[in-house]
């Protein structure tokens, strides 16, 4: 394909087989030398499933495969007819300016054979700096999952990010490794510069497991909705951030036994989630009980030893989980909660800024949810020397989401 040739449309692949072998995601990846956090692997699997549910096909690719720890996972997610493109300098380490990895092609190919994905693989031994989007499209077609994990200098990471952007299929995702890793500041610098560059077509979707997950700016609203439906219900922690003027999630996953099989699938609900905001001047009618300060731009502070909320919920549908975007005046702050007279699992607000905290709810009687928050301490900003404010403040609360 020449630089002027039009890329082929993305291949529409069938959904993954129902008996996808998940053993590599469960434990097999740990047998391959490399660096890969479990949370990043889980989110990749969840995003892949969301792509399949939307009928999305396309190639997978990685720059900087080392011995293949993540690349094998990507190749296992490729359907017949979908290419898996691997790019690495391997033994040509003179082309690796910062020593961020040391690939071994023989070990890489042995690992591909061990997991029987060599039939998908197109392997290039070369410096990605000389690789163009036209070549990627000619070799593999538009890419739906593109991992960027090559040299970690600002110049190399910036080039590879632009290459991934130009090769990305509609609905595709870029995985940028070592974002916010202080050992490799060039990666973070490259990402920030790229996201603020004129004409940038990427937007940040999530930070998870040491990786920044990005999607096309045009796809970002749809991906946010998909994330809310197919990923956030499985998350152990979820904090909403602003990055380059876009909504971005900081995600973490716990050790739930059903997580591997379920992530990326829509959990069954009998009612859509309800969201309540305390931002601005007027909360929804009937929401606030006693123990709350006046409105501020971001939300409200609880006052003194107890604050009450009255959440109007569907009478016939029991709530399953509560998400609070909250913080304590001085984290960590322990908060005891009750639903009416029923004690709930406590919360520890340990983030210095507003963050999302999930709370699994036990079976509750039908009807409105009467929620009581009792912080373990409620000092005033004046007592802490933070400001002249002498109000006894406890919990800063901005939003609540009830899931069914």
- What structural domains does the chain harbor? 23-262 (3.40.50.150), 274-403 (2.60.120.260)
What pLDDT is stored for residue 262 in this prediction? Answer: 85
**Residue range 270-288, pLDDT digits in tens:** 566 788 888 876 777 778 9
The dihedrals phi and psi of 364, each to the nearest 5 degrees, come to: -125, 155
Please determine, for residue 265, whether its predicted confidence score (pLDDT) is greater than 90.
no
Bridge partners of 214? 174, 204
| 33 against 286, higher pLDDT | 33
Asked if residues 194 and 213 have their Cβ atoms less than 8 Å apart, the reply is no
Question: CB-hemisphere CA count at 13 Å for 93?
Answer: 10
Q: Is the pTM of this model over 0.95?
A: no
Please determine, for residue 401, whether its predicted confidence score (pLDDT) is greater than 90.
no
Structure tokens at 367: 């009807």
Secondary structure of residue 48 in the 3-state scheme = helix
| 286 against 346, higher pLDDT | 346
The dihedrals phi and psi of 331, each to the nearest 5 degrees, come to: -75, 150
**Residue range 364-384, pLDDT digits in tens:** 877 778 899 999 999 999 999
Handedness of CA 123, 126, 127, 133 (dihedral sign): negative
Bridge partners of 204? 214
Mean pLDDT, rounded, for 17-23: 61
**Of all residues in the chain, what percent carry a pLDDT higher than 90?**
57
Helical segments of 54-176, H only: 69-76, 105-114, 133-139, 154-167
Asked if residues 328 and 348 have their Cβ atoms less than 8 Å apart, the reply is no
**Ranges 131-135, 301-305, 399-403: which has the least confidence:** 399-403
Which among 62, 71, 53, 61 is positioned nearest to 13, based on CA atoms?
A: 53
Integer Cα distance of 140 and 23 in angstroms: 26
Integer Cα distance of 402 and 111 in angstroms: 45
Integer Cα distance of 373 and 214 in angstroms: 37
Asked if residues 257 and 241 have their Cβ atoms less than 8 Å apart, the reply is no
Asked if residues 44 and 78 have their Cβ atoms less than 8 Å apart, the reply is no
Cα 301 versus chain centre, distance: 28
């Amino acid at each position: 394909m020449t630089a002027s040739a039009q890329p082929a449309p993305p291949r529409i692949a069938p959904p993954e087989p129902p008996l996808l072998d998940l053993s590599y995601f469960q434990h097999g990846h740990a047998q391959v030398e490399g660096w890969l956090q479990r949370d990043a692997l889980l989110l990749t699997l969840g995003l892949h499933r969301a792509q399949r549910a939307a009928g999305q096909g396309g190639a997978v690719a990685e720059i900087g495969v080392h011995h293949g720890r993540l690349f094998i996972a990507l190749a296992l997610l490729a359907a017949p007819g979908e290419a898996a493109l691997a790019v690495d300098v391997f033994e040509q380490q003179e082309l690796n300016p910062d020593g961020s990895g040391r690939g071994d092609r023989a070990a890489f190919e042995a690992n591909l054979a061990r997991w029987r994905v060599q039939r998908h693989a197109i392997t290039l031994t070369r410096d990605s700096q000389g690789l163009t989007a036209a070549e990627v499209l000619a070799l593999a077609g538009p890419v739906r999952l593109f991992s960027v994990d090559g040299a970690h200098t600002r110049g190399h990471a910036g080039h590879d990010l632009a290459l991934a952007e130009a090769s990305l299929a509609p609905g595709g995702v870029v995985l940028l490794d070592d974002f916010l890793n202080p050992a490799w500041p060039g990666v973070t610098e490259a990402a920030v510069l790229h996201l603020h560059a004129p004409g940038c077509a990427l937007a940040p979707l999530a930070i998870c497991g040491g990786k920044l997950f990005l999607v096309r700016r045009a796809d970002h609203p749809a991906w946010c909705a998909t994330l809310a439906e197919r990923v956030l219900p499985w998350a152990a922690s979820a904090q909403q951030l602003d990055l380059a003027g876009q909504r971005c999630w900081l995600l973490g996953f716990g050790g739930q036994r059903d997580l591997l099989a379920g992530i990326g699938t829509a959990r069954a609900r009998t009612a859509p989630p309800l969201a309540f905001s305390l931002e601005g001047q007027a909360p929804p009618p009937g929401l606030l009980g006693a123990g709350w300060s006046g409105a501020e731009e971001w939300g409200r502070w609880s006052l003194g030893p107890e604050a009450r909320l009255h959440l109007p919920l569907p009478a016939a549908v029991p709530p399953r989980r509560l998400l609070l975007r909250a913080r304590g005046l001085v984290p960590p702050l322990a908060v005891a909660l009750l639903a009416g007279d029923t004690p709930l699992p406590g919360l520890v607000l340990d983030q210095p800024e507003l963050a999302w905290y999930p709370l699994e709810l036990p079976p509750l009687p039908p009807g409105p949810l009467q929620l009581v928050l009792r912080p373990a301490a409620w000092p005033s900003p004046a007592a802490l020397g933070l400001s002249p404010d002498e109000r006894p403040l406890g919990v800063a609360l901005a939003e609540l989401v009830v899931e069914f």
